[in-house]
Chains A and B, each alone.
Chain A
Amino acid sequence: MTALLTADRLVKRFGGLIATDNVSIDVADGEIHALIGPNGAGKTTLVGQLTGNLAPDSGTIRFAGRDVTHLPTHARVRLGLGRSFQITSVLREFSALDNVALALQAHDGHSFRFLADVRRDRARRAKAQAGLDAVGLGARATTPAAALSHGEQRQLEIAMAMAGEPKLLLLDEPMAGMGAEESQRMVETLRGLKSRCGMLLIEHDMDAVFALADRITVLVYGRALFCGTPDEIRRHPEVRQAYLGEDGA
């Protein structure tokens, strides 16, 4: 497996606080790499550097064979670094299908066309429908996004992120606020998408993480404490103590 994304010895300081302390992490093509850690471990700061919202103080980030350390967010998105948002952000007045169709349109450009009716654009509809099918929302195509359940809106989010055909998807707590059943559906969805791109999964739901991840990196106080397979993580005493707790896993 070749590494799609490689972050090498990233450091980010906020004043006296070291939020990211010499963290190296990589994600291979077709791999789901989970990032776990207690609140305040620096997960969001690390993701911010990977997406380009934050500039690291030192270290390098390589993506798809290029040094992207100093590239802005939109340039990274164009290279194939997609993301879903921690807070659900869909177009509430638009149908599920139109949400995906718009994400597709953002990807292919051509927004200054004034007369052709997109409702008659079969290719566009078919592609958007395929995107919905891939996340299990195929039957909800005509439903306004606002009328979808929380879990379905998160699925829609994923479909929109996938519209850009990313090589790597950064998933920022995709299961946040979900019930057990909804989480299970999201796990199925992500597993189904695994063949199409690599994923970096930031998630608190340990059941989901252990069900999905090929490798897990544990982040504590800004440092990568350990990186290994789910089984290795379960057995690792320090990780159990630091993160999973006494009765962990």
Chain B
Amino acid sequence: MIERLKQPRAIVTALLLVLLAVLPLLTQAFDQRYLLSVGTRIVIWSIAAVSLNMILGYGGLVSFGHAAFFGIGGYAVGILSAEGIQSGWIQWPVALAVSIAWATLVGALSLRTRGVYFIMITLAFAQLVYYLASGLEGYGGDDGLNISRSRFGIIDLRDKAQFYWLCFALLCGTLWFCGRLAHSRFGYVLRGAKSNELRMTALGFPVFQVRLVACIIAGAFGGLAGILLANEGAYVSPAMMSWVKSGDLIVIVVLGGIGVRFGPLYGAVVFFALEELLKPFLDLLHKGWGEYWQLAFGPLLVIVALYARGGMASLLRARE
């Protein structure tokens, strides 16, 4: 344990977690409310990215439709809210159940394909949900839907700090679970199938079932992130599950370090920090340039892809 704490990656991770844990206190002390909302989004996106990392990083399954779970979790909450069911005790389990059902369906069908076909079929399924939501005229269609936040009784999600801490606690739970899973019997089979699928099948492992269960677990956590995202803005819209968001999730996972436990967390922090910093910086250079922050972000990604193969995690590894 002491040895592990000497590694730069462990130090950075510990500092990051402490910083995130006390973020509401800091933003209150310095009167930076906006930063808390950025922090909340980082935490929620991290949950989704951690779950994507489980199938993409450990399983080698590049899902290009993970943002669909933002939408499914979010719309389940939104639609129930619009129908007058405000209790989180009902909304959240229903949203998770729908996410799990969707993950089972998509997984069972797309896991029959490999490589590029898997990417395309997961994208196609996500687009299906996207257009379905756009077509829900009764629930706002393209414009989306304003909702009231889930009611729990014990905590008030309208309180920014309380909501943030709930999200943070759920992120910690997600990180814990996915970290344990990576080194469980299940995790070894999942990673083994990424390494050499034929050999794992020849050894007699039920590779398809293991991957399907991984997709379902990832879908459940993705749905959870969707539930939180809907409550964060008190708003759901098809935009939250556009293919661009699925791409962003992949970028976060790759940026942080594929198959690294805390990689998605590094990735989400860097991704949102760059978004928040590049905009004002470019605006400072020339008014109006901030809108095109992605023009600067793109080349940065190219540099990471070329020179930091393991993402942020590899930069933080102890030099030997």
Contact B184 A102 (CB under 8 A): no
B195 cross-chain contacts in A, Cβ below 8 A: 91-94
The complex places the Cα of A103 from the Cα of B192 at a distance, in Å, of: 11
Judge if A110 is at the interface, Cβ distance under 8 Å: yes
Contact A105 B202 (CB under 8 A): no
Nearest-neighbour CB distance to chain B for A143, whole angstroms, equals: 15
The complex places the Cα of A160 from the Cα of B180 at a distance, in Å, of: 25
A114 cross-chain contacts in B, Cβ below 8 A: 177, 180-181, 184, 186-187
In chain A, positions 70-101 with a C-beta closer than 8 Å to chain B are 74, 77, 85, 89-94, 98, 101
A107 cross-chain contacts in B, Cβ below 8 A: 204
B184 cross-chain contacts in A, Cβ below 8 A: 113-118
In chain B, positions 75-118 with a C-beta closer than 8 Å to chain A are none
The complex places the Cα of A104 from the Cα of B289 at a distance, in Å, of: 59
Judge if A122 is at the interface, Cβ distance under 8 Å: no
Q: How many residues of A contact B (CB 8 A)?
A: 27
Judge if A2 is at the interface, Cβ distance under 8 Å: no
Q: How large is the interface on B (under 10, 10 to 19, 20 to 34, 35 or more residues)?
A: 20 to 34
Contact A110 B196 (CB under 8 A): no
Q: Which residues in B have some Cβ–Cβ distance to A below 8 Å?
A: 177, 180-181, 183-189, 191-192, 195-196, 198-200, 202-206, 210, 213
What are 21 pairs between A and B in contact, CB < 8 Å?
A85-B202, A90-B199, A93-B191, A94-B191, A102-B188, A102-B200, A103-B203, A105-B185, A105-B188, A106-B203, A106-B204, A112-B185, A112-B186, A112-B210, A114-B180, A115-B177, A115-B180, A116-B184, A117-B180, A117-B183, A118-B183
Given contacts A74-B204, A106-B203, A116-B184, 19 further A-B contacts (CB under 8 A): A89-B196, A89-B199, A90-B196, A90-B199, A91-B192, A91-B195, A91-B196, A91-B199, A93-B191, A102-B192, A106-B205, A110-B185, A111-B205, A111-B210, A113-B184, A114-B177, A114-B181, A115-B177, A117-B184
For the complex of A and B, 7 pairs with smallest distance between CB atoms: A106-B203, A91-B195, A113-B185, A89-B199, A93-B195, A106-B204, A115-B180
